[in-house]
Structure 1
Amino acid sequence: MIGAAFAASLTLVTFAGPAAAHARLISTDPAGGATLDEAPESVRLTFSEAIETTFAGVQVFGPDRQRVESGEARVDGERVIVPLIDDLPGGRYTAVFRIISADGHPVRSQFRFTYDAPAPEPTETVAADPTESPGATEAAATETPSVTPTNEPDADVVFELQDAGPGTAVGLWVARLLNYTALTALAGMMVTALYLLPAGFGADHRRWVRRAAWAAGLWAVSALALFTFGLSSVAARPLPEAVNADLVTRFLETRFGLTVLTQTVLAAVCAVLAVMARTRTMAVAVAGLAAVAAAAIPWWGHAGTDELTAVALASALSHIVAVATWVGGLVMLIVLLRHSNADAGTSAQRFSRLAGIAFTVVVLTGVVNAALHMGAVANLWDTTWGRLVVGKLIAIAVIGAFAWRNRNSLLPRIAASGGAGRSAFRRLAAAEIGVMAVAFGLAAGLASGIPADAEAASRIQSVVSQFGDGQINVTVDPAEVGGNLVHLYFLASDGTQREVEEPSLTFTGGGETLDAELLVAGPGHYTVLSQQFPSAGEYEMRVSADVEGQAVSTTATIVVR
């Protein structure tokens, strides 16, 4: 069964198409590395999905390293627009940006473009007026020199992007892990009170619900910690500097901030209701409210930004509830078998049925969740997120093997004999819980990380540049040392592909010029199947072609990692 589930996982991931899950930069205007004949009026960035309107920052630095924006950045859906001042001098410009995607992840980077400003026309010589002083006549007759700022000093300048520091990243991971752990403890205690214990709602049942109040309280505290560290990450300021009224108010305008705070409140209400619960109906209400609060996790995460939002949310919530029920129930069953006088056989039988259902749901929904954000099977080993998924799949397979042994050997013995085999079950269950802890850590990394499809897409260098009366569009994938796939499109003024004569593509960097071997892939479309880059760094890309009898060329800069 485990082998079949693992094979099904790989099959579904293999045939899954790309899905939007994390904002990534698609294009810029001006294009990165482009050389412009006219001064741009603004800088525009287009992302793969809508981004948060707050905390969107774009700074543009001129050749003298001074900022040249004339106003604040404006967010319009998936676009960010920042206006520039008039009369820009010629030279190289660097645009630095940091935005917040809808799932709460900061996205930051920088790109450069060059403005090739025309030289000022010389001042005409004016005949001297006898009434003017000689100094004035000499000044009028002098030509204004052409001043072209050099690009060399900027070539090696790295503009630092503001960051909250490593403490915030660690705090976010720990807060997420505690959030999952507290939810799991709460689920296990409620499952014990409402399902594993014998029928009714006596003193033992109420005792377990009161214990659940402590778990709900820890859940609320962990959610508040997640809110605090999330604020620090989004605002790019370390704690406690990030905690001020203005930043908190702006953070609450983001989906992540509002959803996490909502979970904090709901978890606190669960704790209060659990303390007050005296009947089974109230206990069921606590469990139901906890399930609603758990829905915040997929909503603030990757599932809430997916194109198939309903499917992603339903799958992610089912996965979370199944894992919490399974793991929490197992831990509490160990406690019952060790300390409780309850009917061990009945509890073991009930948990066996529950664990079988939960494991099936975990495997199926885990595959769906990974497939929605994997993009391609190669991303399983080519991306950090993909490798975390593989690690989690292995952990689930090991857990499934332990669960199979428990369900088919030890639990039937306990149920049949009223308690025999408890020690062996506890030892195997302890090992199962240890592997589950590893899986929880991997899950926290998946929730905090960039999904595989977004990570893979962010590696692609894309350049759009003016080419005669049209444009060229060049992509270099993955823009790393070694072999790269290059696509070159020649576009007419109306955006359609057009045929050209004698196209050529070269990359110059590291003291050598690399000639690309262009293969025709269609009208106006050429590819390079394996463009080799021997070293990392900046490369000047030159594209030349004969367009309707006119020789046209353009240059741009790409960065190879």
Structure 2
Amino acid sequence: MTAPTPLPRRTRVVRPFARLAAGVGLLVVLVALLLAPAGPASAHAVLVSSNPAASAVVPSAPAEVVLTFSESVRQVPDKIRVIAPDGSRADRGGPSFEGGVVTVPVDPAGGRGTYLVSYRVVSADSHPVSGAFTYSVGAPSTPPVDSGADTRADPAVGLATKVAKYLTYVGLLLLVGPVLMLSVFWPRRLSRTGPSRMAWTGLALVAVGTVLGVWAQVPYTAGGGLFEVDGAGLRDVLGSDFGLAHLVRLGLLAASIFLLRPVLTGGGGRADRVILAILGGATLFTWPLAGHPAASPAPPLSVFVDAVHLGSMAVWLGGLAVLAGFLLRRAEEHELDAILPIWSRWATLAVVALLLAGTVNALIEVGSPGALVDTLYGQLLIAKIALFGLVVGVAAVSRTLVRRWREAARPRPLRRALWLELAVAAVVLGITATLVQTTPARTAGSDVTGTESTLFTTTLTSPLYSLQVEVDPAEPGSNSMHLYAYSPDKQPQPVVEWKATIALPSAGIEPIEISMLPLTDNHATGEFNLPASGEWQLRVTVRTSDIDQATVTTTVPVR
């Protein structure tokens, strides 16, 4: 018996539908190009500024530390800490959150020295963001160690989150492929047992991956090992957008079970299939709503195209799995003669949608051409594109074999091509599972605590005063210098006059006079240009009264 009679009619509507889809896809890409650059940095929050600034030296202890992130963040209990120079806690009370701004009250009577600020928060796309920086009051000292706050997650937790994502992706294509092929392409004389088992396996994998993802999110968010999960942490995760999206997915899967059985066995009416398709479409949106797209510069667009990307993948690869695993081995020649050309058009349409959606996602998440090669996210994306190109190349070979089906009538070469297509696609899914856990290229380089500083700082002493010196960036070219004067009892020392010169005797460069601008009684700044690298000799004279002055010197390494 040949394929169902409605197939020829579908053949007639595929071409106009493909043209319409291509036009809509191009329009979506255009909208992405217009909207994406206008939004702020997306997904995976990073610390963009702090007050006091990282590595800054302030004259007196602040009453609060303010952290400003690139997007809204939420709290992880007791994971934002300020440690005093003596190792004690300097923060007082819990931090307050207002969008991307976190305010931490600290002891304004804190002593002099270097303070450590460590933080761990959860970004809007459900990924934890952690880091640390220091600031100093009066003058730097040996940085303290925060032995009570381990913000690291066990490596097994990171692996578990990737495995959970991979299981849901594989499960999705194993579920969608059989449902599609059994509903549209399956010859009535063939047994449905194999594809039905594949579909149930796929549903189980999606459910297991979803539960594992929720479980691993607890230590992934708060730090710790894979089995360090308590009720409070689980409630916190389930109460987040991430947890809500996963709970909705599990609910939709449970509702689908009642409609899936009759569809897989060949029963059920058109209404069952329509409702099942609606539930399936709604389920697709739970992936982007729990990840990067929900926190992008254009969330509605990102969520939509990511769902299209995921659905197209499931249709294409899931259909290939059923075709290679069952139909090419069991169907007769005249049945394949009716099925293959139509499936080839469906697969082409799915690949076009996949490419368009992937292009939009790349435009939004990468942000600039340089980020493709300068960030891990961009490098993974290049690898994914290269492998996807290989998959498309193998698919083109498969289409050629389909067009020659009537001449060759041999399923083995086509089956081999399809299995190769699926094998490479499995690697692509693995990269995708890693990609969604990686900081998007748009924000990967924005973290102020992740950049290497070349700031030179030292404290010089004389009988009249101590002098805190900062030269930034201590590199050839334009530099700025800040000087802070303190009395022997460590109080701000009023200064009547500042003088400073810098020279490079090894290169024959005579002292360069630095014009100093007083900012407060004990703080002055100056701008100067260094023409070369080397060991520059800095000389500073500070006059504290009409008759009292002292000169201090230091060597500034310029690289």
Instruction: Kindly provide the amino acid, as one letter, of the partner of residue 289 in structure 2.
Output: W
Distance 1:110 1:503, change over 3 A: farther
Aligned partners of 2:318 and 2:530: how far apart in 1?
Answer: 51
Instruction: Kindly provide the amino acid, as one letter, of the partner of residue 437 in structure 2.
Output: S
**Equivalent residue number for residue 166 of structure 2:** 177
Aligned partners of 1:315 and 1:529: how far apart in 2?
Answer: 51
Structure 2 residues without counterparts, runs of 5 or longer: 1-28, 456-470, 483-497, 503-510, 515-524, 541-559
The alignment status of 1:450 with 2:439, answered yes or no, reads: yes
User: 1:255 pairs with 234, 237, 241, which one?
Assistant: 241
Deviates more, 1:280-289 or 1:171-180: 280-289
Matches within 5 A, 1:103-502: 103-116=125-138, 151-152=141-142, 154=143, 161-198=150-187, 208=195, 211-242=198-229, 244-277=230-263, 278-281=267-270, 282-334=272-324, 335-340=326-331, 343-407=335-399, 409-414=400-405, 416=406, 420-458=409-447, 459-460=450-451
Runs of 4 or more above 3 Å deviation: 15-19, 53-56, 155-161, 201-211, 459-464, 483-490, 502-506, 524-534
Aligned partners of 2:476 and 2:173: how far apart in 1?
Answer: 45
Displacement of 1:323 after TM fit? 0.9
List per-residue Cα deviations over 1:485-508 (Å, max 9, x = no partner).
999899xxxxxxxxxxx99999xx
Aligned partners of 1:231 and 1:183: how far apart in 2?
Answer: 24
**Residue pair 2:153, 2:224 contacting (<8 A) in 1 also:** yes
Displacement of 1:340 after TM fit? 3.9
Aligned partners of 2:262 and 2:248: how far apart in 1?
Answer: 21
Aligned partner of residue 444 in structure 2, secondary structure: helix
Displacement of 1:475 after TM fit? 9.8
List per-residue Cα deviations over 1:452-504 (Å, max 9, x = no partner).
1211223446999xxxxxxxxx998xx9xxx99999899xxxxxxxxxxx999
Deviates more, 1:103-112 or 1:206-215: 206-215
Deviates more, 1:47-56 or 1:80-89: 47-56
**Residue pair 2:117, 2:134 contacting (<8 A) in 1 also:** yes
Displacement of 1:273 after TM fit? 2.9
Displacement of 1:358 after TM fit? 1.0
Aligned partners of 1:435 and 1:257: how far apart in 2?
Answer: 31
Distance 1:397 1:489, change over 3 A: farther
Displacement of 1:156 after TM fit? 8.4
Aligned partners of 2:539 and 2:355: how far apart in 1?
Answer: 50
Deviates more, 1:321-330 or 1:212-221: 212-221
Instruction: Kindly provide the amino acid, as one letter, of the partner of residue 225 in structure 1.
Output: L
Instruction: Kindly provide the amino acid, as one letter, of the partner of residue 248 in structure 1.
Output: L
Deviates more, 1:438-447 or 1:525-534: 525-534
User: 1:85 pairs with 107, 123, 127, which one?
Assistant: 107
Distance 1:333 1:532, change over 3 A: farther
Aligned partners of 2:90 and 2:261: how far apart in 1?
Answer: 59
Displacement of 1:361 after TM fit? 1.2
Aligned partner of residue 343 in structure 1, secondary structure: helix
Aligned partners of 2:182 and 2:146: how far apart in 1?
Answer: 63
Structure 1 residues without counterparts, runs of 5 or longer: 1-8, 118-149, 465-473, 491-501, 507-514, 519-523, 535-540, 544-561
Scaled by the length of structure 2, the TM-score of the pair is 0.71
Aligned partners of 2:477 and 2:148: how far apart in 1?
Answer: 29
Aligned partners of 2:446 and 2:499: how far apart in 1?
Answer: 27
Identity score, percent:
27
Aligned partners of 1:542 and 1:327: how far apart in 2?
Answer: 70
Aligned partner of residue 100 in structure 1, secondary structure: strand
Instruction: Kindly provide the amino acid, as one letter, of the partner of residue 254 in structure 1.
Output: S
Displacement of 1:196 after TM fit? 2.2
Displacement of 1:406 after TM fit? 1.2
Displacement of 1:235 after TM fit? 2.2
**Residue pair 1:187, 1:324 contacting (<8 A) in 2 also:** yes
List per-residue Cα deviations over 1:494-534 (Å, max 9, x = no partner).
xxxxxxxx99999xxxxxxxx99x9xxxxx99999999899
Matches within 5 A, 1:94-109: 94-109=116-131
Aligned partners of 1:67 and 1:234: how far apart in 2?
Answer: 23
**Equivalent residue number for residue 546 of structure 1:** none
Matches within 5 A, 1:13-28: 17=37, 19-28=41-50
Aligned partners of 1:311 and 1:529: how far apart in 2?
Answer: 49
**Equivalent residue number for residue 138 of structure 1:** none
Aligned partner of residue 57 in structure 1, secondary structure: coil
Aligned partners of 1:210 and 1:69: how far apart in 2?
Answer: 57
**Equivalent residue number for residue 62 of structure 2:** 40
Instruction: Kindly provide the amino acid, as one letter, of the partner of residue 275 in structure 1.
Output: R
Aligned partner of residue 453 in structure 1, secondary structure: coil
Aligned partners of 1:378 and 1:384: how far apart in 2?
Answer: 12
Instruction: Kindly provide the amino acid, as one letter, of the partner of residue 261 in structure 2.
Output: V
Aligned partners of 1:410 and 1:275: how far apart in 2?
Answer: 34
Aligned partners of 2:531 and 2:422: how far apart in 1?
Answer: 47
Displacement of 1:288 after TM fit? 2.6
Instruction: Kindly provide the amino acid, as one letter, of the partner of residue 136 in structure 2.
Output: T
Aligned partner of residue 224 in structure 1, secondary structure: helix
Aligned partner of residue 443 in structure 2, secondary structure: helix
Distance 1:19 1:83, change over 3 A: closer
Scaled by the length of structure 1, the TM-score of the pair is 0.71
Aligned partner of residue 456 in structure 1, secondary structure: coil
**Residue pair 2:116, 2:135 contacting (<8 A) in 1 also:** yes
